[in-house]
Structure 1
Amino acid sequence: MPQVQTYGTPVGEAQALCVFLHGRGQSTADMVDMVCGRLDAPGVHFILPKSPRPAWYDAKAVDPLTGEATAQLEEGLQIVRGLMDEAREAADGRPLLIGGFSQGACMTTEYLMRGGKADAAIALTGCRVGAVQDDLPQANLSGLPIYATDSDDDPWIPLWAFQKSVHDFAKGGARLRMDIVPGREHGVADCEIAALSEMLRDVMSGTAPFGGTT
């Protein structure tokens, strides 16, 4: 079982649960500092797993998928699936979200594209895992609210790769908000935190995010 930290409202009192995945070389504490602890959305219980190695997978996200990279990706996704199953049972009908930053956002994207279920998703500076020529799976997302972001010059997630993941989300029928933050370094800007806080408050209140209708 992975090492797991929790943050936010205790699970029994929470209005929503969220499994949130860290980036390459990061810790669960980094996610508290960078994202969870900055949000204005009381009522969320965050579940923060640690990857079994310094990264969820060793390759760059846009590298061609090798046998080793595929095996490492699947190992990480198995951990995520298990945590989501446990969280869904604990949620007992309350909204359950999946999300992550950087490599964690890539993991979130591949979880969804391989049939993983959630009530909403967060992909902060992520993309599909694999090269353009790889035959990557496509899921039916059927109105799933997804908040996806990137910078216009991020050193880890090229804008074209982010745009491909957004295209795949849209092709799957997701309800999307996409923000590209000019000049932002590899991190999470205040405007992203504000938008994510609003999304979480909408999810907890039963309001469709991004101005949609339920």
Structure 2
Amino acid sequence: MPEVKTAGLPIGKAQKAAILIHGRGASASSILSLSNYLNLDDFALLAPQAEGNTWYPYSFMAPDLQNRTALEKSISTLQFSWDQIISAGIKPENIYLIGFSQGACLSLEFASRNAQKLGGVIAFTGGLIGEKLLPEKYKGDFQGTPIFIGSSDRDFHVPATRIKESAELMKKIGADVKTLLFDDPEHTIRQEEIEWVNKNILM
């Protein structure tokens, strides 16, 4: 059974929930600290822990076979948290996915594989996963789900071209996508991103 850390409101008492997904080398505990900056006071928070602190071994744009086994296991780990939330009676339109770096890529990938009306997807430095983007992998309709992607315009790990491609693909399956690309080389979460998300998605 996947390890999942929790915070915020008890899941049985919350109307909204967020799955927070950590980056490579980080942990469930570290991503939960984002709740100090985001408007998540009335949420149940679930943070799954990746085995060995890594969701998949190679770049998110590596040949698909290299990451496939680990990636599918990671998707199923997210599904475990999702199922816990649904079982508690929280509807998909009140569920949010929030990730940084590897976790941002995974949040976008998980949401897009079975697109539906969600509360929102917040991806701090990420894009859809794969050597090439294959539209046939993604099905469903986001029905206007707000999706945010923020990043450096020249991030070492996540090229701006992949962010833009991902945004276009998700728009085609019904998402309302906002990208903010910053003129700096930092692989981080910026105050401007926090403020935009709080104002526009986590109001």
Normalized against structure 2, the TM-score is what?
Answer: 0.88
Structure 1 pair 135–143 and aligned structure 2 pair: CA distance change class (3 A): closer
Q: Who is 1:194 aligned against?
A: 195
Q: Contact between 2:21 and 2:99, CA under 8 Å: does it hold in 1?
A: yes
Structure 1 pair 65–136 and aligned structure 2 pair: CA distance change class (3 A): farther
How much does 1:56 deviate?
Answer: 0.5
Q: Contact between 1:6 and 1:45, CA under 8 Å: does it hold in 2?
A: yes
Percent identity of equivalent pairs = 26
Q: Who is 1:132 aligned against?
A: 132
Q: Contact between 1:147 and 1:178, CA under 8 Å: does it hold in 2?
A: yes
**C-alpha separation in 1, matches of 2:14 and 2:198:** 15
For 1:92, give the aligned amino acid: I
Q: Who is 1:25 aligned against?
A: 25
**C-alpha separation in 2, matches of 1:201 and 1:54:** 27
The CA RMSD measured in Å over matched residues stands at 2.1
Unaligned runs of 5+ in 2: none
**C-alpha separation in 1, matches of 2:11 and 2:200:** 19
For 1:6, give the aligned amino acid: T
User: What secondary structure is seen at the aligned counterpart in 2 of 1:53?
Assistant: helix
Q: Contact between 1:16 and 1:91, CA under 8 Å: does it hold in 2?
A: no
**Corresponding pairs, count:** 200
2:67 to 61, 66, 69: 69
Unaligned runs of 5+ in 1: 203-214
- 1:59-208 aligned within 5 A: 59-66=58-65, 68-93=66-91, 95-115=94-114, 117=116, 118-132=118-132, 137-139=137-139, 140-183=141-184, 185-202=186-203
After superposition, give the CA deviation of every residue in 1:68-125 in whole Å (9 maximum; x if it has no partner).
4111111110111121011122243471112211111111111122215533211111
Q: Who is 1:205 aligned against?
A: none
